[in-house]
């Protein structure tokens, strides 16, 4: 169920009791107050993970089978014996 009021929406989900108990412990550890903060933090994490995946797919699409360059200021490591013998 989704409802809208003004500039925000309300999302609802049923959560099994054991997961709810784990989430309450997690929230206490992270200093989150109540279910709204727990759900908001979870959705922000989901969004961040999806954004990272979109970025990774974009790089993969752009470079194809080529190795993408390292970021500015990052040097490749020197090969080790394990690399050479593998």
What is the 8-class DSSP label of residue 76? P
- C-alpha span between 42 and 50 (Å, rounded): 12
Residue located via tokens 């959560």: 15
**The two three-digit tokens of residue 59, written as one number:** 């790089």
Over residues 43-51, the mean pLDDT reads: 97
Using pLDDT thresholds of 50, 70 and 90, give the confidence band for residue 45: very high
Phi, psi of 16, deg, nearest 5: -60, 150
Predicted TM-score (pTM) of the model is 0.68
Query: What CA–CA distance (Å, rounded) separates 35 from 46?
Result: 16
Average pLDDT, integer, range 10-17: 92
pLDDT on residue 81:
74
Question: Average pLDDT for residues 23-47, to the nearest whole number?
Answer: 95
Q: What pLDDT, on the 0 to 100 scale, is given for residue 84?
A: 61
User: What are the residue ranges spanned by the domains of the chain?
Assistant: 12-65
Query: Which tokens go with 30?
Result: 């992270």
């Amino acid at each position: 169920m989704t409802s809208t009021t003004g500039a925000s929406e309300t999302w609802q989900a049923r959560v099994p009791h054991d997961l709810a108990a784990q989430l309450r412990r997690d929230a206490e550890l992270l200093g989150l107050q109540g279910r709204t903060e727990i759900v908001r933090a979870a959705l922000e994490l989901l969004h961040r993970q999806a954004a990272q995946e979109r970025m990774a797919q974009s790089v993969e699409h752009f470079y194809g089978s080529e190795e993408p360059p390292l970021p500015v200021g990052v040097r490749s490591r020197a090969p080790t014996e394990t690399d050479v013998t593998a």
